[in-house]
Amino acid sequence: MKTADIAQRYLDYFEKNDHLIVPSASLVSDDPSLLFTVAGMVPMIPYLTGVVPAPHPRIADLQKCIRTNDIEEVGRTARHGTFFQMLGNWSFGDYFKEGAIRYAWELLTSSEADGGLGFDERDLWVTVYETDDEAEAIWRDVIGLKPERIQRLGRADNYWNTGQPGPGGPDSEIFFDRGPAYGQDGGPAADDTRFLEIWNLVFMQDFIENIRGKTEFDIVGELPMKNIDTGMGLERVAFLKQGVENMYETDQVRPVLDRASELTGRRYGADAEDDVRFRIVADHVRSSLMLLSDGVTPSNEGRGYILRRLMRRSVRAMRLLGVEEATFPALFEASRDAMKEAYPVVETDWQRLSSYAFAEEETFLRTLTAGSTILDTAVAKTKATGSETLAGDQAFLLHDTYGFPIDLTLEIAEEAGIGVDRAAFDTLMQEQRQRAKADARSRKRAIADVSVYRDFRALGETVFTGYTDLETESRVLGVLVDGVATGRASAGQIAEVILAETALYAESGGQVADRGTIVGPGYELEVLDVQRPVPGLISHTVEVTRGEVGVDQPATTIVDAANRRSAQQAHSATHLVHAALRDTLGQGATQAGSLNRAGYLRFDFTWGQALSGATRSEIEEIANNAVRDNLEVTTRVMSLDDAKAAGAMALFGEKYGSTVRMVDIGGPWSRELCGGTHVGASAEIGLISLVGESSVGASNRRVEALVGLDAFRELTAERALVAELSTSLKAPKDQLTARIAELTASLKAAEKKIAAFEARALADRVPAIAQTAQRAGSVNLVAESVGEVGSADDLRSLATSVRERLGSESAVVVLVGTAGERVLAIVATNEAARAAGAKAGNLVKVVLEHVGGRGGGRDDMAQGAGTDSAAIPAAFDGVRRALAAA
C-alpha cells in the first residue's frame, strides 16, 4: 500500500465520519517560539486552547512536520526522520475517549477491501495512563482487547502537556508487534523497538499548573471543554504496510536511497555503516526538498541554518560513501518524483527549488575542499602533541573564516578519535556577537531618546556642501558627550559635534561616512563617524585630538580627499554594476541593499540562483565598457513624481521625500534616485573587478567588487601568481589550465592505481591472516597488526573478508593498522561469537584504552583510532583476557 494511499484512506474514513478535512499547514510555524511545525498538533493549538473558535467540531488532517532534535539518530533506527507526516483527527468539545478509541480501532483493523488499513488485531497492543481506569475499560469492555495486551504507564510515557500552564491530559498509545525477530516479548513496556508506536490518542481533559519538569506538575482541575488530539505516524504505518524494515525503505524515500546507491557504486545492505549513510542521505534530501518547497532557503541562522545543516550532512555522507562530485541534481530529482503525487508543488516549483539546492551543494563542496584540508592539518597537529581535544580557536577559525559548520567539525573530529573544545568555541562565538553589537552601537549609537537633538534641529537643517566642496567653514551648534549636551569637550574625549554646515558625508544609501577632520581656533578633531540621528540633522562623532571644542566656536570641516575620491568611485561603480545586472539578467534583478566604501562595493540584488562564471564575466565587461565610454554623470533635484516619470529607480529600503536627487550615468542607461557622492564621468572610476558572488538569503544574491586602484592591485597580484605558476609548471600562461588539468588527471590516475594495488595487496593477505586464528576463551581470535593502510575503510574491508573466511564457527577478528600517525582499529565478530558474548563494541574499547583513542560501534562491527602504536601488543593481550573472562 503506497504512502499516499494510506493517507487518503485515513482522510476518507474521517470525512465519512463527519470530520472537516483541512490542508497541511506550512512547515514554517506561525508560533514565534518555534522555527518549524514540529508536531501535528502545532497548527491546532489555537483551537485546542479556545483562543480561536474551531471551524468545525471535528477535524482531520495530514500535517507536514520537521524535527531535528534527534538528528543523530537518523539512519540508525527504523523510525527517526527529520521530515515526517502526521495524520490526525481532532474533536473540539465533541466526542471524547470512547469515540477516539472506536475510530482508531475501526480504521486500523477494518479490511483493506472495506477502506481500512487491514491490521490484524492480534498484532496490536495499547498503553494507557496509570490512573486512567476509563480508557482501560473502553479498550477491554467496548473494543474487546484482551487485558494482557493493555499496559499502564506513568507520566513520562502516557501523559501529554505543552510544557506550559494550561491544557493537558492522559493519552493512550497503540503499538504494533513486529515479532520476536525485533526484540523481547512483554509489550511496549518491555521493548519499544519490537513494539512500535503507530497512533497516539490524547484525551485533553485537565488543567495543569506549577510545571517543574516533564513529569513534575500539578493537575489543578478539569477543562470546561474536553478535546481529542490524535496523531498517527504516516511513515511508520507505511513501512509496516509495505513490508520493509524502516521508514527509509518506503516508496516516498527509497528512490533517493537507491539513486545514492547507484551514484556510489555501493550496494545498500552490504555494509552497516554505509547503510546508515545511505539513510541519512535519503532522509535529509527529502527534508531539504520539503523545506525549500515551503519557502525556507539556506542561510547561516534560524530556519535557513537547519536547512543548510541537512543539506551539508547529505553532502558529507555522500563523500564518506566515496562520491566527491555534485550529487544533488540526481538525488533531488529522485525525491521530487517520489513526493510529487502527495505534494505537487515540488514539481511545479522545481526550477526554484533545484536552483537553491544545487547552488548550496556547489558552495559547500568548495568549503569542504578548503576546510577539510585545514581541519586535517589541525587534527594531525593536535594528535602530535598528545592531546585528544582540538582547540576551540581552531574550530572557530574554520567556522568564521571558511564557513565550516561546527557540527561538521565535531563529526570529523570524532571520526578521527578526538574531541573539540566546544566551550572555548562557544566563548569565541559569544565574543564575536558582542563585538558586532558593540560595533553597531558605536556606529549607529542607537540612542533611544532623540529629544537631545530637538533644540539643535530647531535651528534648521544642517547644510551639506560636500557635493561641491571638500572644505567648509561653519560654527559649532552643539557638543554632546555620552548622549548628553555638555557644551564642550576636551582632548582625549569622544564627543558628538553638531555644525551648521558640513562638507563631510553622513552614512546613507549604502555609502559609508567620510573620513576627515574638523579644526578651529585652538582645537582639532578626528572624525570617527558621521550620521543623521534625526531627519535634517548631521552629527559628527569625533575624538578631540588637541585643545577644547565648545559651542559657538568657528569650525572648518576638511574631507579626506583621497578617501572620498575612492568612495565615490565605488558608489558610481555600484550604479554601473546594477545597470549591467539588469541588462544581463533582466528587470527582475533589482537592488536589495549595498555598501560602498573606498575601493570596494557590495551589491545585493533579487535573484534566485548563483551566477555562472560566464554571466559574471558578461556583467563585469558591460560595467567596464561603461567606464571606457566615459559616460557623463549628472545630478538633478526634482519632485519625486517627475523623477519616477523619467524612469528613475526607487531603491530597496530607501525613504524619499517630495523632492529627490536623481543621478544619471549615460542618461537613461543608469538612472537612480541617490543622495550619495559620485564621480563627474564614468572614466574616473578606473577599473571594476568582480571578486565574489554569493547567496545572502531567500531569493537574494550578492556581488562584491574592487574598484579603481584596489582593483588594479588585485589584478597585479593575480598576474604575479600566474607568472609564478607558469615558471613552476614550465608552461606558458595560456596553457596553464590544460597543464594543471593534465597534472590533476595524472595524480588521480596514480592515486586510483595505488588504491587498487593496496586493495589487492590487502586481499592477498586474507588467507595468511586467517591462519593466525588462536583459541581465546570460547572463540577463535585473529589479532593482527597489518601495518600501513590507506584508510579505515580498507581496514574494515579486510576485517570483513577475514571474518567470512573463518566460516560459521565462533570468531573474533581484531585488526590494527596505521595511517600516518593514526592507529586504526577494527573489531569484527560473527554470529556465533556474539551468541557467546563477544561484542565488537566492547572489544574495540579494550583496544583503544591501550593505544590512546576513542571509538565504538555495534556488536558485529566497531572501530576507532588512537595514537600509540607501541601499545598494540598490549591491546591484543587485553582482548584475549576479555574473551577469556567472557
Using the structure block, give the residue that is written with the C-alpha cell 541617490: 674
- HSE, side-chain direction, 13 A CA sphere, residue 804: 8
If we measure between CA atoms, which residue out of 529, 530, 523, 520 comes closest to residue 544? 523
* 575 labeled part of a ligand binding site: yes
- Give first-to-last CA distance, the chain, whole Å: 46
SS3 labels along 468-516: CCCEEEEEEEEEEECCEECCEEECCCEEEEEECEECCCCCECCECCCCE
C-alpha cell at 842: 566492547
Q: Which residues contact 222 (CB under 8 A, 6 or more apart)?
A: 205, 206, 207
**Grid coordinates given for 632:** 557623463
Strands (DSSP E) contained in 793-832 are 811-819, 822-829
538, 472 contact by CB (below 8 A) = no
DSSP 458-470: HT-PPEE-TTT-S
CB-CB contact of 235 with 77 (8 Å):
no
- Helices 3-16 and 234-241, packing angle to 10 deg: 120
> Annotated binding residue at 65?
no
Which residue in this structure is represented by grid cell 593481550?
877
Sign of CA dihedral 476, 482, 488, 493: negative
Q: What are the CA-CA distances from residue 727 to residues 491, 614, 736, 738, 739 (Å)?
A: 56, 28, 10, 15, 12
Between CA 543 and CA 297 the distance in angstroms is: 43
Q: 399: annotated binding-site residue?
A: no
3-state secondary structure of 263: helix
**674 annotated as ligand-binding:** yes
34 in Cβ contact with 20 (< 8 Å) = no
Q: Which residues are annotated as a binding site for Zn(2+)?
A: 571, 575, 674, 678
Q: Which residues are annotated as a binding site?
A: 571, 575, 674, 678
